[in-house]
């Protein structure tokens, strides 16, 4: 039997999120962020939108593994548990639809 390993979502701690721009999206000066596991994709969208000073009417898309856009109510902890690599959850952001 494998010993049970606590998941990021269950631990209630913080995870490392790496935000990468796609296409003509503005580049963030700080790319790595420590984020609470209970934060949602909607929260990260609002955070990025504010950080890069986007208008509320402008679109912002978030992608996991350069292939799919997670639901806005999806928790970052769950995404980390399923899709993290090298201890980081890599999210790509774009002002236009890029993948998925």
Range of the domain at 57: 13-94
Does a structural domain hold residue 6?
no
Q: What is the pLDDT of residue 3?
A: 46
Average pLDDT of the segment spanning 64-89: 93
Does a structural domain hold residue 37?
yes
59: CATH: 3.10.20.90
Does a structural domain hold residue 3?
no
Does a structural domain hold residue 66?
yes
Q: What is the pLDDT of residue 9?
A: 52
Could you give the strand order of the β-sheet that contains 14-21, starting from the edge strand earlier in sequence?
A: 32-36, 14-21, 88-94, 61-64
Does a structural domain hold residue 4?
no
pTM: 0.84
Task: Note the pLDDT tens digit of each residue in 10-22.
Answer: 556 899 999 999 9
Q: What is the pLDDT of residue 6?
A: 52
Does a structural domain hold residue 8?
no
Q: Considering its fold, how many domains does the chain have in total?
A: 1
Does a structural domain hold residue 2?
no
Report the distance separating Cα 72 and Cα 74, nearest Å: 6
């Amino acid at each position: 039997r494998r010993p049970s390993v606590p998941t990021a979502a269950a631990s209630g701690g913080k995870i490392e999120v790496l935000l990468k721009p796609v296409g003509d999206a503005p580049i963030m000066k700080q790319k790595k962020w420590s984020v609470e596991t209970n934060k949602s994709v909607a929260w990260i969208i609002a955070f990025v939108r504010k950080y890069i000073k986007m208008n509320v009417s402008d679109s912002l898309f978030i992608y996991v593994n350069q292939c799919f856009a997670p639901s806005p109510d999806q928790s970052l902890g769950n995404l980390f548990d399923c899709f993290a690599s090298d201890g980081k959850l890599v999210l790509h952001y774009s002002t236009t639809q890029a993948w998925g």
